[in-house]
Amino acid sequence: MITPFAAAKAYAATQKGVGIGDTPGLTPNNAASGQLGFGDILKSAMTDAVTASKTAETRMAAQVAGKAELVDVVTAISAAEASLETVMAVRDQVISAYQEILRMPI
């Protein structure tokens, strides 16, 4: 289950990804307009999820070696889980929208 803190973090990451905060990930194609495309937003979300997973794995390995606190490991795993749940929710919505488009009469 996603916590309010995890939801707020996911929302902040999404806002950053769409360019409301700083504008990382601008490509030459859309840099002139200052807007990110849907593909860029998805790429940013996937990159964030992969980064969170790698951070969690690194923290787990450090804890096994006795170099990290358990609370840091749990926090990293929670962040990775929230990122993955966000990506899965977006995926489900995209699939649902695609299926709805396929059902539209021509």
Residue 56 lies in a domain: yes
Task: Give the domain extent around 88.
Answer: 37-106
DSSP single-letter state for residue 67: -
For every one of its 106 residues, what pLDDT tens digit does the chain have, with 9 covering 90 and above? 556 666 667 666 766 655 555 444 444 455 455 677 878 888 888 899 999 999 999 999 999 999 999 999 999 999 999 999 988 998 899 899 999 999 998 8
Q: How many CA atoms lie within 13 A of 87 on its CB side?
A: 18
Closest CA to 48 of 89, 80, 73, 93: 80
Kindly report the pTM of this predicted structure.
0.61
Q: How many folded domains does the chain comprise?
A: 1
